[in-house]
Amino acid sequence: MSYLRTVPGMEKRHPRRRLWSWTAGATAARTGDEMSGPALLLAGLAVTGSPASASALLAGATAAAAVGGPLIGVLLDRSPAPGRLLAAVLAGHALALTAVLVCLGRAPLGWTVLIAVAAGLLAPALAGGWSAQLPNVVPAGALPRAGALDALTFNAAALAGPALAGGTAQLAGARAGVVASAVLICLALPAALRLPRRTAGAPPYPLSAGIASEIAAGFRAITRVPPLARATAVTAVSCAGEGMLVACAPLLGERALGGAGHGALLLTGIAVVALAAGALPARRHGPPSPDTVLPVSALLLAAATALAATAAPVPLAAAVVLAGVGQGAQLTALFAIRHREAPGRLRAQVFTTGASLKLTGFAAGAALAGPLALWSLPGALLTAAAVQLLAALPGVKPCAGRRRERGAGTDGRA
């Protein structure tokens, strides 16, 4: 973090120590979150023996995040000590996961799914809640690179979480994976409690403001600030395409690599490349504009998904590389735009609501891909490629419009 040394006075406030504490907490919490979904799935299958019951647990924990994101964002935005609130949410999430494990096989499935829903309501804090606190951790000049580091924690968690869930289940049983995910989330508590209080220059919403009106203000910020609106549209639709690719991975592994289980290897490869691609902006002094990177990343994902539709080993390897580069670059660019454009008093809402919209898009894409893949695996993947092309449009059109305006001005002067 040598770039922080150039900021006057920052050495006295130990910025590197603060940033590393934030990074360690975010990584632990997000790895536990990424681990919890596969762990719940494996535990539900082991205890009930029913794939439908296991998927119901996962669906309950996933779908609820779309509702919890805006509400958690409001509470974080209006809290004078968001770190303490974030710690409370982390503890609640870990407690809910533990309660699911205790009730699984002992209580009616419906009650257990409701507890999983409660856990899912708190999940956006593990994603956007951490990111929204970053401006309080580093100075403004260090924010772009710190945002790239933020994206790296997501990519690292996406790589490590499912692997840890599977490995823990193999070594200690399916229930142990849920316990381990809750422990990882709790390990982030000290870092959350050490987050700085809100600065005087960025006051929270007044307590007299209604929560509903604050949620509406957050949605208005996302939809009415053009760069935020474009970034949200690109990434939410792109996540639908990614959900389709993930849902097709087992069938793709079976057809191209000789086993459905090998589909996980494809996703692991994408995560590894995404981690490497996300690290590049953190080391470069002049990365491309994030507004340009977003539509390009969707085009890369479209090309990757179209190549995967061939189900041939060489194109599939190229698809893994392209998809990883697209995912890593997209996440880094998205965070840069949110930090740049989000109003200070609405920052947490922008991050948590955006995370909820992305998760909703991912779930919708995965649900659509199931019946499509049963009809035709290449058809499902080509549809996913078309979705990625659609995702690129909101980001491409403004660029084209600006080029036309510059061309018209030149002609007029001539």
Over residues 115-132, the pLDDT tens digits come to: 988 888 888 777 777 888
d(CA 160, CA 165): 9
d(CA 288, CA 400): 17
Q: Kindly list the domain boundaries of the chain, sorted by start residue.
A: 10-198, 214-414
- Band (pLDDT 50/70/90 cuts) for residue 261 is low
Angle at 47 between CA 43 and CA 52, to 5 degrees: 80
- What is the percentage of the chain residues whose pLDDT exceeds 90? 23
CATH code of 10-198, in short, is: 1.20.1250.20
pTM for the predicted model, two decimal places: 0.75
More confident residue, 375 or 411: 375
What pLDDT shows up at residue 382? 95
pLDDT (average), residues 63-84: 80
Least confident piece of the model among 116-130, 227-241, 257-271, 379-393 = 257-271
d(CA 38, CA 387): 26
In this predicted structure, the answer to whether residue 311 has a pLDDT above a threshold of 70 is: yes
In this predicted structure, the answer to whether residue 283 has a pLDDT above a threshold of 60 is: no
Number of Cα atoms under 13 Å in the Cβ half of residue 391: 34
The C-alpha R_g of the chain, in whole angstroms, comes to 21
CATH code of 214-414, in short, is: 1.20.1250.20
In this predicted structure, the answer to whether residue 281 has a pLDDT above a threshold of 70 is: no
In this predicted structure, the answer to whether residue 9 has a pLDDT above a threshold of 50 is: no
Least confident piece of the model among 60-64, 368-372, 403-407 = 403-407
What pLDDT shows up at residue 36? 86
Asked, colleague to colleague, whether 10-198 and 214-414 share their fold, the answer is yes
In this predicted structure, the answer to whether residue 168 has a pLDDT above a threshold of 60 is: yes
pLDDT in tens, 292-305: 999 999 999 999 99
- What is the percentage of the chain residues whose pLDDT exceeds 70? 86
What pLDDT shows up at residue 133? 82
Smallest CA-to-CA distance from 205 within 95, 330, 349 is with 349
pLDDT (average), residues 42-64: 77
In this predicted structure, the answer to whether residue 55 has a pLDDT above a threshold of 60 is: yes
Least confident piece of the model among 98-102, 230-234, 264-268, 383-387 = 264-268
Smallest CA-to-CA distance from 277 within 322, 317, 237 is with 322
Q: Given the structure tokens 């000049």, which residue do they identify?
A: 141
pLDDT (average), residues 259-263: 67
pLDDT in tens, 170-215: 788 888 989 999 999 999 999 999 888 765 444 454 544 567 777 7
| Contact between residue 346 and residue 330 where contact means Cβ atoms under 8 Å apart | no
What pLDDT shows up at residue 286? 55
